[in-house]
Amino acid sequence: MLPYLIKRLGSLIVSLFVASLVIFACIEIVPGDPASFMLGVNAQPDTVNALREELGLNTSHTQRYVSWISGLLKGDLGTSYTYRSPVSDIVADRLQVSVPLALYALTLTILIAFPVGVLAAAWRGSAVDLFVMGATQLGIAVPNFWFAILMVIVFAINLGWFSAGGFPGWDAGILAVIKALTLPAVALALPQASILARVMRSSLLDTLSEDYIRSARAKGLSRRQVMWRHALRNAMIPVLTIIGLQFSFLLAGAIIIENVFFLPGLGRLVFQAITQRDLIVVESVVMLLVFAVVLVNFLVDLAYAWVDPRLRERS
Amino acid sequence: MMSETRSSRKALKSRNLFIGVALTSIFALAALLSLIWTPYDVTQLDISSKLKSPSWEHLFGTDHFGRDTFSMVMVGAQTSISVAFIAVGIGMGLGVPLGLSAAAYRGGLLDEFIMRGNDLIFAFPSLLIAIMITAVFGPSAVNAIIAIGIFNIPVFARLSRGAALPLWTRDFILSARVAGKGSARISVEHILPNITNLLVVQGTIQFSLGILAEAGLSYVGLGVQPPIPSWGRMLAESQTLISIAPHLALFPGFAILLTVLGLNLAGDGLRDLLDPRIRRTRR
């Protein structure tokens, strides 16, 4: 397990290093220089110069990159130009919305996809299976922000069960938070659950056709026992991979969904920073999101090395 | 009994292909037709007939500027389809040569470099980077195409490398080698024709993902700019008016849904028709 861990850790660090270079380069090549880009065309020359000084634009690229990275490593994400406060404070604030939203959506995804996928695989070819395949086909094709708008029309405007947008804050109580986050979480979960249910179904079908399943049946286990004891555990490997990948989609998909519901989360922060040309926020938050995604995929890799010892040995 | 279920499944698959191709053709034809004719001019504002409900005069109603929604959905088809199509073209145009060379020089430094680069792009949340690209270079159709296209490159590189690798051990490649052909020529003349089916199927799937991505980008205002209509922005504009004119939110959404559904069904059907062994790969 240890050599595998070291190897994966190595590629994690390389990924993060290259990602930081790409993000840094993106910000550096904005038209003009970052200072004049951020202030726009009507800025006074001395304002631009002051910002240049603040951003350290008078130093070399290498120096700036090194100071950005060493700041990140110490938890210093820089200071936002529009908010005039440390980016880390703003991020901490926004995480109170984004993390619960992502977890809520992921929970819904798994709660929907697992039973649906298992049911479709167990009754392969039946009406249940056909219905699941049809419904998931639709779920994949629906643009989730449109689905979100439709849900707002039905459940917020007409029925008044949930709020149409905004976030009351955690002080308003858990019920108010659930009211605000349910529709966004469902919108995020719908396409993900459709994909995951299909993966679950096909992975189970693959596993159920293996020889050891036949042996288990031959030694007298019932269909149900085989399903729970042998098939499900082995079918989990591709499912875990997809869950890992879906986390990155939940983070990015939240940019759009948070905009639909005016939720003050990380996604909306990035988007607002982009329209306000607050490059420091963009640079650090994008890096943070990439870090979260790479880290989750790393943890998923470890998880299935743990589930399936064959994977450890092969590498 | 077994063969019966199998043949009924097969019939179902070809029905999928039929429905998929039919849906896709409807929107493709609408897009083509919009180049020469639309019921109303989409740049023509007519405030006196704003926010009309669907009627014979305006099939899908009108928006807050009095523009005909039906005509806008037609032109929107043109926007969506062309952005997604060119993005797939970029992915194939760059990804396939990369994948083929990785396979031709497998195990070498080039292979390693190409595949690790692909892993990196895969590791990033694609929409986030797309938004960053359009943010830095400004929102426009071209930047949306580039942003979506970049993420198609590793998909096609990985696919063509994976499909080309087993082919390199086959006898007919060996004979081509003996005949004195170089790796590049073998890749183009013998490998490429053998992986075209796969590329077509994957292309259809990426096309549908591209339509969704374009809709998302233009929803947040980072796609095609006004006055050119796009489905995503029509939805964004409809949102402020949902309580008085819900029809504005319906039609562009259905257009996206049906186009994506059509492409997915067509992709599934094509896969079963061309190569039953291919496993559908989805992000």
Interface predicted TM-score (ipTM): 0.82
Give the pLDDT mean for A90-98: 87
**Over the stretch B175-214, which tens digit does the pLDDT of each residue have?**
888 888 888 888 888 888 888 888 988 899 899 999 998 9
Segment among A70-79, B8-17, B157-166, B211-220 with least mean pLDDT: B8-17
> Å from B72 to nearest chain A CA?
17
Q: Which position has the higher pLDDT, B133 or B89?
A: B89
Residue B256 has pLDDT above 60, yes or no: yes
Could you give the angle at which helices B69-104 and B141-150 cross, rounded to 10 degrees? 40
In a domain, residue B268? The reply is yes
Whether pLDDT at B86 is above 90: yes
Residue B6, pLDDT > 80, answer no
- The number of angstroms, rounded, from the C-alpha of A86 to the middle of its chain's C-alpha atoms is 24
Share of chain B above pLDDT 70, in %: 88
- Please determine, for residue B96, whether its predicted confidence score (pLDDT) is greater than 90: yes
pLDDT top residue among A297 and A143? A143
Percent over 90 (pLDDT), chain B: 13
From chain A residues 256-275, the ones with a CB under 8 A of any chain B CB are 256, 259-260, 270-271, 274-275
Q: How many angstroms separate the CA atoms of B44 and B42, rounded?
A: 5
Residue B283 has pLDDT above 50, yes or no: no
Q: How confident is the model at residue B76 (pLDDT cuts 50, 70, 90)?
A: confident
* B29 token code pair: 């034809």
Chain A window 187-206: which residues touch B at a Cβ cutoff of 8 Å? Answer: 195
- Res. B77: pLDDT tops 70: yes
Q: Which of residues 129-158 of A touch B (CB under 8 A)?
A: 130, 137-138, 140-143, 145-146, 149-150, 152-153, 157
Do the domain assignments include residue B158?
yes
Residue B38 lies in a domain: no
**Which chain B residues are within 8 Å of A145, Cβ to Cβ?**
215-216, 219, 235
pLDDT over threshold 90, residue A186: yes
Q: What are phi and psi of A160, to 5 degrees?
A: 70, 25
Q: Does A251 touch chain B (CB under 8 A)?
A: yes
Instruction: Tell me what pLDDT residue B282 has.
Output: 37
Q: Is residue B8 part of a domain?
A: no
**Total domains in the fold of chain B:** 1
A/B interface, count of CB pairs below 8 Å = 120
How many other C-beta atoms lie within 10 A of the C-beta of residue A116?
22
Mean pLDDT over A73-96 rounds to: 83
Residues of B in contact with A23 (CB under 8 A): 132
- Domain ranges in chain A? 94-276
Q: Is A293 exposed, middle or buried (0-12, 13-18, 19+ CB in 10 A)?
A: buried
B256 vs A296, higher pLDDT: B256
**CATH code for the domain of B277:** 1.10.3720.10
Closest by Cα among A96, A248, A271, A115 to B123: A248
For residue B120, is it within any domain? yes
Q: Taking CA A49 as the corner, what is the angle to CA A47 and CA A50, rounded to the nearest 5 degrees?
A: 65
Q: What is the pLDDT of residue A312?
A: 61
Tally Cβ neighbours within 10 Å of residue A303: 16
Report how far residue A206's alpha carbon sits from residue A202's, in angstroms, rounded to the nearest whole number: 6
A94-276: CATH architecture: Orthogonal Bundle (1.10)
Task: Between A160 and B90, name the one with better pLDDT.
Answer: B90
Collect all residues with Cβ–Cβ distance below 8 Å to B255 and sequence separation of at least 6: B27, B73, B76, B77, B231
- What letter represents residue B217's amino acid? L
In a domain, residue B44? The reply is: no
pLDDT at residue B7 in the model: 56
Going by C-beta distance under 8 Å and a sequence separation of 6 or more, which residues neighbour residue B111? B102, B103, B105, B161
Higher per-residue pLDDT: B246 or B103 = B103
B279 pLDDT higher than 50? no
Most confident of A43-57, A214-228, A299-313: A214-228
Within-domain flag for B61: no
For residue A152, the distance in angstroms to the closest alpha carbon of chain B comes to 9
The tokens 């292979």 sit on which residue?
Answer: B111
Asked if B117 contacts B150 with a C-beta cutoff of 8 angstroms, the reply is no
Q: Stretch A278-298: mean pLDDT, rounded?
A: 82
Residue A239 has what pLDDT? 82
pLDDT tens sequence across A210-224 = 788 788 888 878 777
Residue A206 predicted with pLDDT over 50: yes
Contact A125 B256 (CB under 8 A): no
Full residue range of the structural domain in which residue B120 is found: 69-282
- Residue length, chain A? 315
Question: Which chain A residues are within 8 Å of B6, Cβ to Cβ?
Answer: none
Contact B128, A252 (CB under 8 A): yes
Chain B residue with CA closest to A273: the answer is B135
Tokens of residue B256, six digits: 């996206």
Q: What angle is formed at CA B16 by the lines to CA B15 and CA B20, rounded to 5 degrees? A: 115
For residue B13, the model assigns a pLDDT of: 65
User: Rounded to an integer, what is the distance from CA A262 to the centroid of its chain?
Assistant: 18
Cα–Cα distance measured from residue B133 to residue B142, given in angstroms and rounded to the nearest whole number: 11
Interval B226-250: pLDDT, tens:
788 888 888 888 888 877 777 888 8
Q: How far off is chain A from B178, nearest CA to CA, in Å?
A: 35
Partner-chain contact A286 B128, CB within 8 Å: yes
Give the pLDDT of residue B277. Answer: 54
Peptide bond into B227 cis (omega under 30): yes
* Averaged pLDDT for residues B28-37: 82
State what percent of residues in chain A have pLDDT above 70.
Answer: 94
The pLDDT value recorded for residue A210 is 79
The reply to whether B93 falls in a domain is yes
Q: Residue B257 and residue A143: Cβ atoms within 8 Å?
A: yes
What is the DSSP-derived secondary structure letter of residue A170?
G
Contact B9 A138 (CB under 8 A): no
In chain A, % of residues over pLDDT 90: 8
Distance, in Å, from the CA atom of B233 to the CA atom of A189, rounded to the nearest integer, reads: 23
Band of the pLDDT at B51, cuts 50, 70, 90?
A: low
From residue B280, alpha-carbon distances to A41, B24, B126, B203 in Å are 49, 19, 19, 12
**Residue A25 contacts B where some CB pair is shorter than 8 Å:** no
B93, pLDDT greater than 90: yes
- Mean pLDDT of the residues in chain B: 81
